[in-house]
Amino acid sequence: MNTITIQAVHNSDKMFTVVYQPGMTVLQIVNESFTEPKKEGIPFLCTKGACRSCTIKIVENAELLAEPTKNEQRALAVGRTAMSLGYRLACLCYFKKLEF
């Protein structure tokens, strides 16, 4: 199965398994099943990377994600250091196009 495991940094380090869905951000995929996504899922404010409230840590299968854009690198402020430790922004993070 094409899934990643993530930790929501700003929501008590909750863990989620995210199943590949083309064209959707990790934030959209996780939060689509919650009635109160900001409390139950990955918190967010802006969905554009500016607030960094949707910071996640990739726990498993980071190789399934597309490379971070310049916008995501800038938004994380510490850029490559944070990303090398597995941190990403869920609102700007997509799966790679996967071949089945």
Domain boundaries, the chain: 3-89
Q: Is the pLDDT of residue 79 over 70?
A: no
Per-residue pLDDT of 23-61, as tens digits, reads 899 999 999 989 999 899 999 999 998 888 999 999 999
Compute the distance between CA of residue 87 and CA of residue 79 in angstroms, rounded to an integer.
9
Give the chain's mean pLDDT.
Answer: 90
Q: What is the pTM of this model?
A: 0.90
Residue 51 carries which DSSP code? S
When pLDDT is averaged across residues 71-84 and rounded to a whole number, the result is 77
> 49: which 2 tokens?
């990377």
